[in-house]
Amino acid sequence: MKLYYTPGACSQAPHIALREAGLEFTWEKVDLKAKVTENGTDYRTINPKGYVPALEVAPGIVMTELAVLLQYLADLVPERKLAPPPESAERYTLQTWLVFIATEIHKGFSPMFKPGLSDEGKDIFKNILFTRLDYVNAELAKREYLMPSGFSVADIYLFVTTGWAPRLGVDLSRWDALVAFRERVAKRPAVQAALQAEGF
């Protein structure tokens, strides 16, 4: 497998998941502004959507949507228990978390990366995001991870997206359970290895 990634972007989630799963993979950096990989390939020939991540799972077969990629990787190594079994009730709970993180947390942070956004505009998006983080914090106050069964790919996705907070002027200290969660996840060897490999 080959992961196309940009350091610190959401592609960090499958990077961590690959390491958590113990799967062999190669990776290639993508310049998202130029849409070119580090080997000089037009990235749009790999992923016409133009964003990361992209995971080449077999020659000519590329997967692109993060919530799908994470479940795919988890299902390759069910013994690692990174996702509940397909079609179980718990699997739908995992999918609920993945969709919530994608649409409410990931996309809550996304507008704030735009350089032309006014401070007033950022405040509007922050206020919406804060209500979502209030909910996440309340859930994490009940248990160590998002799923009652323990650590999962949803936790990886949440860890990566909330890791953008300092760069965007969002102080996470008001959400104590979320901060404790991030500290737990950051101690995992696979997480440390991925962060180091990406230069963090």
Give the model's pLDDT for residue 96. Answer: 98
With CA atoms as reference, report the closest residue to 70 among 87, 93, 53, 51.
53
| E strand segments, the chain | 2-5, 26-31, 36-37, 54-58, 61-63
Mind listing the pLDDT tens digit for each residue in 83-114? Answer: 999 989 999 999 999 999 999 999 988 877 87
Overall average pLDDT of the 141-157 stretch: 97
Overall average pLDDT of the 67-85 stretch: 97
pTM (predicted TM-score)? 0.95
Using pLDDT thresholds of 50, 70 and 90, give the confidence band for residue 156: very high
Note the CATH number of domain 2-79+191-197. Answer: 3.40.30.10
Tell me which of 1.10.1060.10, 1.20.1050.10, 2.40.30.10, 1.10.10.10 is the CATH number of domain 83-188. 1.20.1050.10
Domain boundaries, the chain: 2-79+191-197, 83-188
The encoded tokens of residue 77 equal: 């190594």
With CA atoms as reference, report the closest residue to 97 among 112, 77, 82, 117.
82
Mind listing the pLDDT tens digit for each residue in 3-48? Answer: 999 999 999 999 999 999 999 999 999 999 999 999 999 999 999 9
